[in-house]
Structure 1
Amino acid sequence: MSADEFDPAIERLFARTPPMPDAALFTADVESRLQRGSRIRYAVLGAAGVVGGAVAAREVLTIRFTPESGEPAAVVGHGLQAASLNAQTALQGGLDQLGMGSLDLGSMGGMQMFWVAAAALIAVASIGLMRLSQEV
């Protein structure tokens, strides 16, 4: 048998693996393990969702919009207002140095700035995700 005839013969012999005698049992065992794992995962995710939903509902129902002056929420609120004012003053000073002093940031409220920042973060994350998917 020449070398040209020998290689295809070996390839034909090893092209198909012989069936194992316990192949059906092995397949059934693997499928049952996969099903058992998915049931546990569904149960854990469901329990986490119920607990998270209960905590979120409790927080929404117990919210107070007017904290009293001695409470920590009021102190934190005043601190955040001061920090926001300082940041806005510093930003306005930087814009004055760049020659864009007429740009007024005082007209945007805190919630509007939050949504602008959130939209910017979502845009940056989307661009990063697109670049990452193109590299793969």
Structure 2
Amino acid sequence: MVDLKEEIGKRVRQARLSKGLTQADICGDESELTVRQLTRIENGHTLLTIPKALFLASKLGVGVQELVDVEAISLPKRYLELKNRLTKTHTYGDPKRIKELEGFLDEIYEHYYDSLPEEE
């Protein structure tokens, strides 16, 4: 699975450098985006929000689709299955069912947590 945050960060950095701009040039008065936030985005530590993606695309003179690979945004199928089972399975206080749900949470945390959008 492609790390979406890292991939977007690389694209943002490449677009900025290809225009010969510094992070400070992009952020300006930092009312929309701070240099620290941009650094975190470019290093793959923070996932872009839609407003920040629109801001960066505008500043860089590119389309949002050049910064964000829409194909890579889809959530992993296994994650969606686990999420569905977590929300649909009732425990009724049964320790066996509770243990099963804990296993789902552990799998999500171990395999998907770091690459999920903040909304998830």
TM-score grouping bracket, smaller chain normalisation: under 0.3
Report the structure number with the largest CA radius of gyration: 1
Report which of the two has the higher share of helix.
Answer: 1
Q: Which of 1 and 2 has higher RCO (CA within 8 Å, sep 6+)?
A: 2
Provide the TM-score with structure 1 as the length reference: 0.20
TM normalised by structure 2 equals: 0.22
